[in-house]
A = this chain, B = another copy of it.
Amino acid sequence: MNDRPKGRRKTPVWQAIAAHLRGDIAEGRYKAGDRLPTESRLAERFGVNRHTVRHALAHLIQEGLVRTRRGSGAFVAATPTDYPIGGRMRFHENLLAAGRLPEKRILQIENRAATPGEARALAVPEGGYICAYHGLSLADGQPIALFESLFPVSRLPGIDVALQQTRGVTQALDLVGITDFVRVSTRLTAVLADATQALHLHLQEGDPLLRTTGVNAVPDGAPVEFGRTWFAGDRVTLTLDG
């Protein structure tokens, strides 16, 4: 790991800069989520070319200490923490029990036509309308998962409004009269993050995601939710309860 060259006289400038920034972060000058000065300013401050600063930043990125966003800046990365989630998948309760602060960010709620596949999964007529709920789950401010939940509006009138008002799927379903439901199917696969997923989850495009596809239904059998979730693979461990 110590890739210091044999000649111990001089350390490259970029390594010195990286060490300096590392120290700034370590002693709290820049805290998690803070934006670092722009590359140009850092170049001025250290009296070097912008490329040299970039070389240093690239190292910090590889270490996972810093994350950059094109056009926006460089940010101190939050410390990745593995997080266990139960088989019942009650996001809020699990996180609260683990002493972390759950948060849900709504990206989109819209009523639209169902695709043939979605119609089949939700047992609605082809072309029938569904409510699509797209969002981002976070823990302590760090993105954990992207999700898309589909609901049959015909059987769940007012679900779109309920989703706006509540904190989670369970509560929203309760608001429209679904007090209990069971998971009737779950599928797991690994996929690669595309560009937009990577943006939301603060990952690189091509990083692995854990995708779950599942259907929840009321006890007598009618599906009430068709959900897909993409977990950031290296931040989440899914544990199935036995």
Which residues of A are at the interface with B, using a C-beta cutoff of 8 A?
Answer: 5-13, 15-17, 20, 27-31, 34, 37, 41, 44-49, 62, 71, 107-108, 110, 112-117, 127, 134, 194-196, 199-200, 204-207, 239
In contact, A205 and B9 (Cβ under 8 angstroms): yes
In contact, B44 and A196 (Cβ under 8 angstroms): no
16 sample A-B contacts, Cβ–Cβ < 8 Å, listed by A number: A6-B207, A8-B205, A8-B206, A9-B205, A12-B195, A15-B195, A16-B196, A17-B196, A28-B116, A37-B108, A45-B107, A46-B200, A47-B107, A47-B196, A48-B196, A48-B199
Hey, which chain B residues are within 8 Å of A116, CB to CB? 28, 239
Copies per complex of this chain: 2
Hey, which chain B residues are within 8 Å of A115, CB to CB? 27-29
In contact, A200 and B239 (Cβ under 8 angstroms): no
Hey, which chain B residues are within 8 Å of A117, CB to CB? 27
Residue of chain B at shortest CB distance from A13: B195
